[in-house]
Structure 1
Amino acid sequence: MNVTIAQSTFERALSVASRAVPSRATLPTLTHVLLQAEPGRLKVAGTDLNLAIITWEEALVSEPGGITVPAKPLAEFIGALPDEPVHLRVHRETWTLQIVCGSYETAMKGLDPEEYPILPDIEGDGFALDPEDFRQAIDQVTFAAATDETRPILTGVLIRREEGQPGGATVLTMAAADGYRLSVKTLPALRAPEGAFSVIVPASTLEEVGRLLKGETDPVSMMALRGRNQVGFRLSRAAVLSQLIEGQFPDFQAIIPKRWETRVEISREALLKACKALSVFARETSNAVRLVITPGEGDQPGQVLLQSRSPEKGETRVAIDALVEGNRLEIAFNVRFLMDVLEAIEGDRVAFEMTTSQSPVKVLPVGDPSFVHVVMPMFL
C-alpha cells in the first residue's frame, strides 16, 4: 500500500471510524482500524463486532493494499502532525505502516488485514431517506430509548414500514420507549423496496448515524442485511453497519392517549427556559416539578404555573401565559423528561393533552402531526 492523503482529511476519517473501536477487546485486531487503499480513495474502518463505521476519503493511491493499525495511537499521532500531506506505505514483510509528514516520520506495527472482521458491502436496493428528515427523526426518537440493559428491547428503536398510505406513498415509523416515556416519529421515504420492513436498531447506532448526517446533502440509503441480522446505512462518504436487536417491540400505539380533559398550548421556548431554571432546585427532589394549569376567564389568558421546591436551596416558581382548554389540573413531571422533549421539538409552540394527574400525557408540536411524545407524570 502506498497512499498520500491530506493530514486534516486523514484525521477526520480516523475520528469517525474510531468511534466504533472498543478501548479493550479480547481480539487484538478489534482495537485497530482497517486502512484499505482503493482506486482514488482510502477506506478507514472500525468495529466492535456489533457496530462498524466505515468512511472513504479522497487520496492519491500509488499502490493498493491494506493494513490494520492500533486506532488510538494512530489517531493521536496523526492529530499532532502539521497540516501537510501524509504519506502512508505498508511493508508487508513485517506488517509495518510507515508514516511520513514533512519532517515527521514513524513506523507503526500493524496486522495483516486478512485478520480483520469481514465487513459486508451495503449495496442494492434500500430505502432512500432525506438526510435532514432522517437526522431530525433520530434526534426526536433516540432520547426516549432506555439506557438500562435489563430490557434490551427498549434500548433500541423500532423502524417499520407503514402500509396502505394515501397515494401509495411509503412512510416509515420510528418509535422508542423506556417505560416512562415514548417518542414516535413518521417520515416519508424517497424510494422504497418492495415488501414489509420492521427492524429494531440500537439507539446508540442511530445516534452515530445522526452525527454523520450533519452537513449531508445526498439521500441516505438504509437496508436490512437479512442473512446477517444486520442493518446498514450508506451515506455519501461513510457507512454504518449494526447488529439488530431481536425480540418483540411493545405495542406503542396502545400507550398513546386517545382523548383529553385538559389541553395546553404554550410557547416551547418559554417553557424550556422555565424548566431549565427550575431544574436547579429540582435536583434534590428527584427532578420533580409541579405544574398548576388554570384555564383563562373572560379576557384573561390561561396560565401554567411551574413550581419547584428544595429543602436546602429554597423554592422557585414561574408563571407562563398559555391557551388552556378543559379542566384545571395539577400535575408533576420529571423536569429532565420535559427538557428532553422540548429540546427535540423544533416548532415554536407545543401542546400537552392530559386526562388526570396520574395518566399518560401526550406532547406534540403544534402544526406537526409527524411527531408525538408520551410521558408519564410523577405522583404528587
Structure 2
Amino acid sequence: MRIIIERSNLLKSLSHVHRVVERRNTIPILSNVLLRTEDGALRLKATDLDLEITESVAATGEQEGATTVPAHLLYDIVRKLPDGAEVKLSTNADGNQMTVSSGRSNFRLQCLPESDFPDITAGALSHAFTIKAAELSRLIDRTHFAISTEETRYYLNGIFLHTIEADGELKLRAVATDGHRLARAEMPAPAGSEGMPGIIIPRKTVGELQKLLSDGDDDAAIEVELSDAKIRATIGPVVLTSKLIDGTFPDYQRVIPQNNDKALTLDRQSFSAAVDRVSTISSERGRAVKLAVSDSQLTLTVNSPDSGTATEELAVGYDSDDIEIGFNARYLLDIAAQLSGDEAVFMLADPGSPTLIKDGGDDATLYVLMPMRV
C-alpha cells in the first residue's frame, strides 16, 4: 500500500472515525483504524463492535492495499503536521509496519493485518428512508439530554425512534427519558418509514450522529436504513452503522399528563437566567428550586443548609389558584436550553404531579418534568 493524501482531508476523516475507538481495549485490533486504498480513494473504518464508522476520502494511489494502525496515534501524528502538508502512507513488504512521512517528518507505526479487523455491517436492513440533516438533528438535539445514564435500566440508555399516528397524520417521533424527565420531539414521517419497528438508538451512537450532523450541511439528505437490530446512516461520505439496544422502551404515553389545567406562561430567557442565578447557592446534594406562583408573579427560592438562601421574582402570565412546586434546577436549565421560542408554557396540576412544559416556538416538542419535595 502506498498513497499520497492532503493532510487536511486525512485529518478531517480521521477526526470522524477515531472517536469511535475506545482508549482502552482488551482486543488489540479494536484500537486500530482500517485503511484501504482503492479506485483513487482512501477508505477508513473504525469500530468498537457496537458502532462502526467508515469514510472515503480522495487520495493519489500509487499502490493499492490495506492495513490497520493505531487510530489515536495516527490522528495525533496527522494533527501535529503543518497545514497544507502532503502526507505519504506506505507499508513495507511484510505489511507489519507503515511509514507516515510528510516533509522532513517520518514515523513508523506497527500494523496488524486487515484480515483480523471485524465487520458489523452484515445483515439485511428492512426499512429505508431519506431525511433532511436539519430534521434529524432537531429530533436528536431536542431529546438527547434526557437519555438515562443508569446502566441497570439499559433500555432507557438511548433515544426511542418510532412512527405513530397522531392528529390524523403519521409522525416520526423521538423520545428519551431517565425517569425524572421526559423529552419528546416529532415530525411528519418521511416516505419509507411506514411500518418501521420502534428502535432504541444507543447513547454513544446518538452522540456520534450529533457530531457528524453538525459538521455537515443542514439541507443535506441523510439516508437512513434500519431493522430491529441495526441502524445505518449515510451522511455524505460517512457511513455510520450501529447495533441497537435490545430491549423494550416503556409506555411513555402513560406519564404524559393530560389534565394539567394551570397554565404558567413565562419568558424563557429571563426564567433560565433567574434559575441559573438562584441555583448558584444550592449544593450538589440538594439542587431543588421552589417555584411559587401567585397573582401573575413567580418567586424562585433556593434554600441551602450550607450556604444560605436566594430568591428572585419574575412577572409571568398566570390566572389559576396559587401553587408552590419544586424542581431540580439542573433539569429546568436543560429543558430551557432546548426551547426555541421566546415563551415557555408550564402546564401544572399540583405540587406532587408531573408538569408538562411546552415550547412557545415549536408545537412538535414537549417535555415532562417530575417535581421534587421542597
What's the counterpart of residue 336 of structure 1?
Answer: 330
What's the counterpart of residue 94 of structure 1?
Answer: 95
- Stretches of structure 1 that go unaligned for 5 or more consecutive residues are 296-301
**Letter paired with 2:254:** A
State how far apart, in whole Å, the 2-side matches of 1:313 and 1:274 are.
18
What's the counterpart of residue 130 of structure 1?
Answer: 132
2:301 to 307, 318, 339: 307
- SS of structure 2 residue aligned to 1:254: helix
Please give the root-mean-square deviation of Cα atoms over the aligned residues, in Å. Answer: 2.0
Are the aligned partners of 1:285 and 1:310 in contact in 2 as well (CA < 8 Å)?
A: no
1:292–1:165: structure 2 CA closer, same or farther, 3 Å change rule? closer
Offset at residue 325 of structure 1 (A): 3.2
Offset at residue 40 of structure 1 (A): 3.3
Offset at residue 77 of structure 1 (A): 1.2
| 248-257 vs 90-99, which moves further | 90-99
| 261-270 vs 122-131, which moves further | 122-131
Are the aligned partners of 2:67 and 2:95 in contact in 1 as well (CA < 8 Å)?
A: no
What's the counterpart of residue 220 of structure 1?
Answer: 222
2:340 to 343, 346, 361: 346
Are the aligned partners of 1:5 and 1:59 in contact in 2 as well (CA < 8 Å)?
A: yes
Query: Counterparts in 2 of 1:94-173, with a 5 A limit?
Result: 94-120=95-121, 126-163=128-165, 166=168, 170-173=170-173
2:321 to 317, 327, 330: 327
**Letter paired with 2:81:** L
Are the aligned partners of 1:128 and 1:220 in contact in 2 as well (CA < 8 Å)?
A: yes
Indicate yes or no: 2:359 matched with 1:362.
no
Offset at residue 285 of structure 1 (A): 5.0
**Per-residue deviation, residues 262-293 of structure 1 (Å, max 9, x unmatched):** 21111111111111112211225511101111
- SS of structure 1 residue aligned to 2:57: strand
Are the aligned partners of 1:134 and 1:187 in contact in 2 as well (CA < 8 Å)?
A: no
Query: Counterparts in 2 of 1:242-253, with a 5 A limit?
Result: 242-253=242-253
What's the counterpart of residue 34 of structure 1?
Answer: 34
Are the aligned partners of 2:163 and 2:189 in contact in 1 as well (CA < 8 Å)?
A: no
- SS of structure 1 residue aligned to 2:277: helix
Offset at residue 204 of structure 1 (A): 2.4
Are the aligned partners of 1:361 and 1:374 in contact in 2 as well (CA < 8 Å)?
A: yes
TM-score normalised according to structure 1 size: 0.92
**Per-residue deviation, residues 342-370 of structure 1 (Å, max 9, x unmatched):** 11112211110010001000011014221
- Stretches of structure 2 that go unaligned for 5 or more consecutive residues are none
State how far apart, in whole Å, the 1-side matches of 2:239 and 2:359 are.
32
State how far apart, in whole Å, the 2-side matches of 1:195 and 1:124 are.
10
State how far apart, in whole Å, the 2-side matches of 1:9 and 1:369 are.
40
The alignment covers a number of residue pairs equal to 370
**Letter paired with 1:153:** Y
What's the counterpart of residue 299 of structure 1?
Answer: none
State how far apart, in whole Å, the 1-side matches of 2:9 and 2:68 are.
18
Offset at residue 155 of structure 1 (A): 0.6
What's the counterpart of residue 2 of structure 1?
Answer: 2
State how far apart, in whole Å, the 2-side matches of 1:110 and 1:187 are.
46
State how far apart, in whole Å, the 1-side matches of 2:312 and 2:116 are.
61
Identity of aligned residues (%): 28
What's the counterpart of residue 265 of structure 1?
Answer: 265
**Per-residue deviation, residues 221-261 of structure 1 (Å, max 9, x unmatched):** 222145xx211111002122211111211111111010123
| 259-268 vs 369-378, which moves further | 259-268
1:153–1:284: structure 2 CA closer, same or farther, 3 Å change rule? closer
Offset at residue 174 of structure 1 (A): 0.7
**Per-residue deviation, residues 65-116 of structure 1 (Å, max 9, x unmatched):** 2111011221111111112011111235133211111111122111111110
- SS of structure 1 residue aligned to 2:5: strand
State how far apart, in whole Å, the 2-side matches of 1:89 and 1:353 are.
63
Are the aligned partners of 2:260 and 2:349 in contact in 1 as well (CA < 8 Å)?
A: yes
Are the aligned partners of 1:262 and 1:328 in contact in 2 as well (CA < 8 Å)?
A: no
State how far apart, in whole Å, the 1-side matches of 2:69 and 2:125 are.
27
Are the aligned partners of 1:284 and 1:310 in contact in 2 as well (CA < 8 Å)?
A: no
State how far apart, in whole Å, the 1-side matches of 2:52 and 2:279 are.
37
TM-score normalised according to structure 2 size: 0.93
Offset at residue 191 of structure 1 (A): 3.4
- SS of structure 1 residue aligned to 2:151: coil
